[in-house]
């Protein structure tokens, strides 16, 4: 019975995600679902990405949080359209919450929509929002064993950003071993080591995403 | 309908949690549910706690992971009884999974049972396992805004361990402001700043838990 309920929920989510995707496509919006543990740096990566894309492409943001609108307030300073979703306890965004937020966004004036999911390495991986690309931000202080422990999230990601590489001198974290583990789970994944504090690697990531947008 | 399903699940969980608690009480086992984000240091805190309690009290461990048994293998080197629960995708432990694991533990020979939950700042807060105490490990690289964003977890915790304080010189993290925010959400919470790398603060935490065990 429980399995049936879960299947129904995921099936219904998939239907709404398809509608979202049609809406994105008809407005020529490239959509990225940004996932990570709490505190891995989702908002920082989004902020750095927006800064580097100014004058190159028009960005919009959806901020998913259980409660609070701290991140949306920070991002609105970059003068891009931003909509806050408060899930009210739910541990992930779903397609329906996303659909509700889209009505408040000027989709015709957006080329790239960054959707910041709730901080969680488990549940968001199961719910499509209708996105073109799933990025996972995994930060060095979390440790290099995370792909073994949260395999679905690493399997579902199109891109992994290894964030906070400025902290590497103070941590036991093997970037090569970590990258190899991820590639073992997910052969096609792209990996970018980055630091939002020093800016290292951010240009490479931004160039890559612009390239991907051009292919749509 | 969905709400009813969720209520049923939580009600059924509470019933099994009560049975777990009776079993713990009849065996005079003090039980701690250890919760945190992925990579905040749950396993490291458990390892350091076990090392300092050697010869003082008899410890047992339940390791909750979606998949893998890396942490259970690490902990078994400390020569304490340890049982692995693989949730097979579920984002939290529940009372029933815990009950299943208890059959494999020598409860009569254990004074303190540490249950490491799945790394997740959202879902585990809703599911009692029958524990005496809930501890939340919040690590400095995650940032000092986390209580605003995951308020239920901070509200439900009896103790917050602020872990990785050895990294403070390299981060923007205000321990006083963070502690004040937590106390604003949860007036009775105990807070211990610790580092599993340098050992700072661990003795204070271990002395405190021994004191709490003595009160049961």
pLDDT in tens, B177-201: 999 999 999 999 999 999 999 999 9
The two tokens of residue B155 are: 């509200």
- Using alpha carbons, select from B59, B51, B56, B50 the residue that is nearest to residue B30: B59
The two tokens of residue A50 are: 């927006």
pLDDT tens per residue, range A155-188: 999 999 999 999 999 999 999 999 999 999 999 9
What DSSP element (H or E) covers A64?
strand A59-65
The two tokens of residue B168 are: 């403070």
Q: Are A80 and A55 in contact (CB under 8 A)?
A: no
Q: Collect all residues of chain A within an 8 Å Cβ-Cβ radius of residue B139.
A: 39, 141
Give the dihedral sign, CA B104/B106/B107/B110. negative
3-class DSSP assignment, residue B164: coil
CA distance B189 to B182: 8
Neighbours of A5 (CB within 10 A): 14
Chain B CB within 8 Å of residue A3 CB? no
Tally: H helices and E strands in chain B: 8, 7
10 Å CB burial of residue A58 (0-12, 13-18, 19+) is middle
Mean of all residue pLDDT scores within chain B: 95
Mean of all residue pLDDT scores within chain A: 95
CA distance A123 to A87: 13
Chain A CB within 8 Å of residue B121 CB? yes
Q: Collect all residues of chain A within an 8 Å Cβ-Cβ radius of residue B121.
A: 38, 119-120
pLDDT tens per residue, range B50-70: 999 999 999 999 999 998 899
Tally: H helices and E strands in chain A: 8, 7
Within a domain: residue A151? yes
What is the predicted pLDDT for the residue at B1?
41
10 Å CB burial of residue A76 (0-12, 13-18, 19+) is middle
Confidence of residue A93 (pLDDT cuts 50, 70, 90): very high
Within a domain: residue A3? no
Q: Are A128 and A13 in contact (CB under 8 A)?
A: yes
Within a domain: residue A43? yes
Would you call B167 and A170 a contact, using CB atoms and an 8 Å cutoff?
yes
Within a domain: residue B1? no
Nearest beta carbon to residue B39 from set A67, A120, A143: A143
3-class DSSP assignment, residue A163: strand
What is the predicted pLDDT for the residue at B141?
98
Chain A CB within 8 Å of residue B123 CB? yes
Domain that holds residue A56: 11-215
Within a domain: residue B2? no
Residue with tokens 């543990």: A37
The mean pLDDT value for B4-23 works out to: 87
Angle in degrees, 0-180, between the axes of helices A202-215 and A42-53, rounded to the nearest 10: 70
Counting Cα atoms < 13 Å in the Cβ hemisphere of B166 gives: 15
CATH code for the domain in which residue A83 is found = 3.40.50.300
- Using alpha carbons, select from A70, A133, A123 the residue that is nearest to residue A94: A123
Confidence of residue A3 (pLDDT cuts 50, 70, 90): low
pLDDT tens per residue, range A170-179: 999 999 999 9
The two tokens of residue B116 are: 């490491």
CA distance A104 to A76: 14
Within a domain: residue A110? yes
Sheet holding A112-116, edge to edge: A82-86, A59-65, A112-116, A30-36, A133-139, A159-163, A190-193
Task: From residue A164, give the alpha-carbon distance in Å to each of A36, A39, A121, A194, B156.
Answer: 13, 11, 17, 6, 29
Q: What is the pTM assigned to this prediction?
A: 0.93
The mean pLDDT value for A194-216 works out to: 96
Q: Are B95 and B116 in contact (CB under 8 A)?
A: no
CA A93 from centroid of its chain's CA atoms: 11
What is the predicted pLDDT for the residue at A1?
41
Within a domain: residue A143? yes
- Give yes or no for residue B85 having a pLDDT over 90: yes
Q: Collect all residues of chain B within an 8 Å Cβ-Cβ radius of residue A162.
A: none
- Give yes or no for residue B4 having a pLDDT over 80: no
CA distance A173 to A143: 6
Within a domain: residue A92? yes
Confidence of residue B148 (pLDDT cuts 50, 70, 90): very high
Q: Are B160 and B136 in contact (CB under 8 A)?
A: yes
The mean pLDDT value for B27-41 works out to: 98
- Is the backbone of residue A143 left (phi > 0), alpha (psi -120 to 50) or beta? left
CA A55 from centroid of its chain's CA atoms: 22
Number of domains in chain A: 1
pLDDT tens per residue, range A33-75: 999 999 999 999 999 999 999 999 999 999 999 988 999 999 9
Confidence of residue A6 (pLDDT cuts 50, 70, 90): low
Residue with tokens 């060095």: A140
The mean pLDDT value for B135-150 works out to: 97
Q: What is the DSSP letter of A185?
A: H
Would you call A149 and B91 a contact, using CB atoms and an 8 Å cutoff?
no
Confidence of residue B216 (pLDDT cuts 50, 70, 90): confident
pLDDT tens per residue, range B91-109: 999 999 999 999 999 999 9
The length of chain A, given as a count of residues: 216
A2, A13, A38, best to mutate vs chain B, most B CBs in 10 Å? A38
């Amino acid at each position: 019975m429980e399995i049936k309920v879960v299947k129904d929920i995921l099936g219904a989510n998939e239907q709404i995600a398809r509608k979202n995707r049609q809406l994105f496509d008809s407005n020529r919006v490239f959509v990225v679902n940004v996932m990570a543990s709490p505190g891995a740096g989702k908002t920082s990566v989004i902020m750095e990405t927006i800064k580097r894309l100014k004058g190159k492409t028009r960005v919009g943001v959806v901020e998913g949080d259980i409660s609070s609108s701290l991140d949306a307030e920070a991002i609105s300073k970059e003068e891009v359209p931003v909509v806050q979703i408060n899930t009210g306890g739910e541990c992930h965004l779903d397609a329906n919450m996303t659909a509700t937020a889209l009505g408040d966004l000027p989709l015709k004036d957006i080329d790239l929509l960054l959707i910041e999911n709730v901080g969680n390495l488990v549940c968001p991986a199961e719910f499509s929002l209708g996105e073109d690309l799933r990025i996972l931000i995994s930060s060095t202080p979390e440790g290099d064993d995370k792909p073994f422990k949260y395999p679905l999230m690493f399997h579902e990601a199109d891109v992994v950003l290894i964030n906070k590489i400025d902290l590497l001198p103070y941590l036991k974290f093997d970037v090569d071993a970590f990258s190899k583990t991820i590639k073992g789970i997910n052969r096609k994944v792209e990996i970018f080591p980055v630091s939002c504090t020093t800016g290292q690697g951010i240009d490479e990531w931004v160039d890559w995403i612009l390239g991907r947008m051009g292919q749509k």
